[in-house]
Amino acid sequence: MLCILLSLMVVVQKLKFLNKSNIKPLPRMPIHRGIAFFFLFCYTALIMIVMKFGGSSIANADRIRRMAEIVKKYVPRKPVLVLSAMGDTTDRLLEAADAAINTGACSIGEIQELHLKTIAALGLDIRAENEITPLLEELQHLLMGVSMIKDLSKKTKDYLVSFGERLSARIAGAYFRTAGVNAKAMDAWDAGFLSDDNYSSAWILKESWEMIPKKLNPLVDAGVLPVVTGFIAKTTHNAITTLGRGGSDLTATIIAAACGAEEAQVWKDVDGILTADPRIVPDAKPLEAVTYEEAAELAYYGAQVLHPRSMQPCVKTSTPVLVKNSYNARSPGTRIVASLEKPAPVRAITSRRNVTLVDIVSTRMVGQVGFLEQVFSMFAKHGVSIDMVATSEVSISVTVDAAYDLTGLHEDMLKIAQVHIKTGKAIVTIIGDVECSSEILSRMFSVCAAAGIQAQMLSQGASKVNISFIVNDAQSAEAVRRIHKEFFGKPASGKRNTA
């Protein structure tokens, strides 16, 4: 009954969508064909969702129980589960490798203890332990190898951190089975995830788009709960890769888009996407909805809620993404969708620290063709990725992440221009409606001026949703707080921002 109701809702939603997009109404069809079409439609579009839980949502036995309670409520909507590593396991694995290289110690003690304790606390039987022990042994051997060769290539690092997700998926799978849910733990490659060999930030190959639904849809249709490892994949040569830190979000959105899921849910430890980082602005409010474009900008410019690339798959298929809080499941969370009826003048404010400003000045630029190309190809040659750009007739200012070593690039560039490198900067970004940019800029500048904060470079595209400017790193938190206060004011008690 519930299934039929939900199917009807999907059909109604799709019809609404057709109306909105001004597509011609479907021609009238005889009732029996209509019914057949309806069931065919329900079967193909049928309800399936992807639920992803991050590390802190499965940090220990209690959190795993809580996660399972949440998932069970969604069983009628046929979930595929995607899991990160438990708690900070990924960081612990990297620390263990550092220790193996620097001190020769090959200890997986803490990691082993967390996982074995969790198995015991969840009351899992010996079979769960039998799935886990060989992985722990393999990890121990790998660390011994790392300590011997005293080197950790990107390839080995990906192999090393993959253990976190492989352990958590198996434990959760076993727990679901004891709780009466027919769950199957799967390594991402067994669920169709093939990637290139760009270790530590791999891209999923085109073939995966066909393989993933082929592997997962039949399981879901058969009433199985697939529990898939987030974050990892394999190359065609069988080497393990990762999709970048926080990459389980991307695993989830790829599955949702590839399988035609109704939605991708990303369960975190915050109430959704907030108007600012709550560590900087304690009264930041959860947003009811944002667009894919806004979410991607937010992810990139410092709001650590979602993996920056995780929007891309769902943009292709218009699959909605819902960010929910596993510590507060009642809170409605934030919906990420293709477009919103009412754009808000300002949706959110973020900042990104540890930024370096590179100022390139040359009179040769005046009236010249191809100077920008020359400058940008130097950045490309030295593998330095540019974040923000602003240009005038005689100067180009760009920002890059402070982690880059700019020595070689600096030397090359001095051949064609004067270059000033200024470290200790931050990017403050206002995500909002560029149609209101004059108002946003004037209010933003007046609050910054009142606080003695200088905007040292400014960038705003013609159609983009963000306005970004550079300030001294030490002043960035103050800038975010003041701008937030200007646009969102004092918190109205308990009221959500419905922008």
Taking CB under 6 A as the binding criterion, the range among 186-194, 200-208, 239-247, 461-469 that sits at the site for ligand ASP is: 239-247
Residue 302 lies near ligand ASP (rule: CB under 6 A): no
> What is the pattern of x (binds ligand ASP, CB under 6 A) and - over residues 9-48?
----------------------------------------
- The total number of residues shown for the chain amounts to 499
Q: Of these partners, Mg ion, ligand ASP, none, which one is at the site of residue 247 (CB under 5 to 8 Å by kind)?
A: ligand ASP
Residue 164 lies near ligand ASP (rule: CB under 6 A): yes
Residue 246 lies near ligand ASP (rule: CB under 6 A): yes
Residue 84 lies near ligand ASP (rule: CB under 6 A): yes
Which is nearer to Mg ion, 88 or 288 (by Cβ)? 88
State whether the Cα torsion 251-122-133-109 is positive or negative.
positive
Q: Of these partners, Mg ion, ligand ASP, none, which one is at the site of residue 248 (CB under 5 to 8 Å by kind)?
A: ligand ASP
Which is nearer to ligand ASP, 226 or 246 (by Cβ)? 246
Which is nearer to ligand ASP, 90 or 325 (by Cβ)? 90
Q: Compute the least distance from the CB of residue 55 to ligand ASP, in Å.
A: 5
Count of chain residues binding ligand ASP (CB under 6 A) = 12
Which is nearer to Mg ion, 118 or 275 (by Cβ)? 118
User: At 393, is the secondary structure helix, strand, or coil?
Assistant: coil
CB atoms within 10 A of CB 368: 12
- Answer for the pair 274, 109: CB distance below 8 angstroms, yes or no: no
Residue 231 lies near ligand ASP (rule: CB under 6 A): yes
Residue 157 lies near ligand ASP (rule: CB under 6 A): no
- Answer for the pair 335, 321: CB distance below 8 angstroms, yes or no: yes
Which is nearer to Mg ion, 55 or 313 (by Cβ)? 55
Q: Compute the least distance from the CB of residue 160 to ligand ASP, in Å.
A: 12
List Cβ neighbours of 99 (8 Å cut-off, separation of 6 or more).
105, 107
Question: Cα torsion at 146, 148, 150, 154 (round to 10°)?
Answer: -30
Residue 87 lies near ligand ASP (rule: CB under 6 A): no
Question: Judging by DSSP bridges, how do beta strands 49-53 and 263-268 pair with one another?
Answer: parallel
CA angle 296, 384, 311 (to 5 degrees): 15
For Mg ion, the binding residues (CB under 5 A) are 55, 84, 90
The residue whose two tokens read 């590390």 is 55
DSSP notation for 269-326 = SSSSSBSS-TTT-TT--BBSEEEHHHHHHHHHTT-TTS-TTTTHHHHHHT--EEEEET
Taking CB under 6 A as the binding criterion, the range among 151-159, 180-188, 242-250, 283-291 that sits at the site for ligand ASP is: 242-250
**Joined tokens for residue 305:** 């809620």
Which is nearer to ligand ASP, 204 or 470 (by Cβ)? 204
Query: According to CB under 6 A, which residues from 90 to 109 bind ligand ASP?
Result: 90
- Answer for the pair 52, 265: CB distance below 8 angstroms, yes or no: yes
Residue 54 lies near ligand ASP (rule: CB under 6 A): yes
CB under 8 A, 24+ apart: contacts of 299-302: 300/352, 301/350, 301/351, 301/352, 301/427, 301/429, 301/431, 301/466, 301/468, 302/277, 302/350, 302/351, 302/352, 302/353, 302/427, 302/429
* Residues of this chain that bind ligand ASP (CB under 6 A): 54-55, 84-85, 90, 164, 230-231, 245-248
